[in-house]
Structure 1
Amino acid sequence: MNSKLSKILSLVSGLIGLIAIYFLARIIMEGDDAVKESLDLQNSLVSPFVSFARVILIITAVIAVAFSLWNLVRQPKLLKKTLVSLAALGVLLLISYMMATDEATRNLSGNIIKDGEAGPTSKWVSTGIWYSMILGAIGLGFFLFDFVKSLFSTK
């Protein structure tokens, strides 16, 4: 990284830190109990701090996604590998969706829980559970394979 860009990034991160310290100091000066009791005080002190954090998060996420996409465009081999990986995840999601049920969600006594009726939401929740279990099993399989491989490898 060139020194000019490094200096700019240091200044920007320092400015963000100073703004955050300003918001924190305002909250500390008012006191914890006063902020908890007064809704108007919360809106005048905490809400700007939360909004600032949200804006920084959005900007950071956009920059991270943009640079990732730019890196993929510049390296075709990496783009191909990424697309193959996304296709594999898509196939696993399709398998999870086919394994999922859209039955109503029931409690231990067998009664349908509130807002647990059968339908598309229940199907997608079940899909998410199956997807997590499949990915967890794959991860555990690779972990165990690597563990056993390291037991028998000699260096």
Structure 2
Amino acid sequence: MLHKILKIVALILSILGAVWLVRIILAGDTAILDSADLQDSLVTPFIYIAYLIFAIALVFVLVFVIKNLFTSGSSLKGTLIGLGAFLAVVVISFLLASGEETPMRDGEVLSASASRWVETGIYAFYLLALIAVGAMVFSGVKKLAK
């Protein structure tokens, strides 16, 4: 029953999204940029449809993740270990980041705090990529050793 309801909701949202997309394409970029009325009547509903789809997907992901976490204890333990490792990478990245005020192209200035968080994200990406490559190399070497 739930599967049928979800299929119907997905179909309705798909049709609504397609209709608004066609309306936006037919109106054209310059007409939409020049007219606030067209922005309100065409773009705003399309954005709300996207928000609705995102919210539905987020709710389902959270529900199923939480449901699966508590079905077995080892799953919860593994998830908490992974979350802790990820938080450790973020903390290490934050400690490595310096964060200085940075002038941007549009004349604005990025604050030191915002700059530090951007640098933290970059360092976290590099650390996670390094860990992933290391894990693949380790796995490959371990397979060859067998």
Would you say same fold, with TM above 0.5? yes
Change (3 A) 1:6 1:59: closer
Q: 1:101 to 1:71 in 2, by over 3 A?
A: same
Which of these residues, 1, 7, 11, is aligned with residue 10 of structure 1? 7
Larger radius of gyration: 1
SS at match of 1:101: coil
Cα distance in 2 for residues equivalent to 1:102 and 1:34 = 42
Among 32, 43, 46, the alignment partner of 1:46 is 43
What displacement does 1:114 show?
5.4
Bigger drift between 59-68 and 31-40 goes to: 31-40
Deviation by residue 1:56-111 (Cα, 9 ceiling, x = unmatched): 2112112211221122122221111101111111222222222222444489xxxx
Q: Which runs of 5+ in 1 are unaligned?
A: 108-112
Q: Is it true that 1:79 corresponds to 2:68 in the alignment? A: no
The alignment status of 1:145 with 2:138, answered yes or no, reads yes
Deviation at 1:149, TM superposition (A): 4.3
RMSD: 2.8
**Relative to 1, partners in 2 of residues 1:122 and 1:35: Cα closer, same or farther, differing over 3 Å?**
closer
Q: What is residue 66 of structure 1 aligned with on the other side?
A: 63
1:31 aligned to 27, 31, 41, which one?
Answer: 27
Q: Are residues 74 and 25 of structure 1, via their aligned partners in 2, closer, same or farther at CA, if it must alter by over 3 Å?
A: same
Unmatched tracts of structure 2, length 5 or more: none
- For 1:115, which of 109, 116, 131 is the aligned residue? 109
* Count of equivalent residues: 143
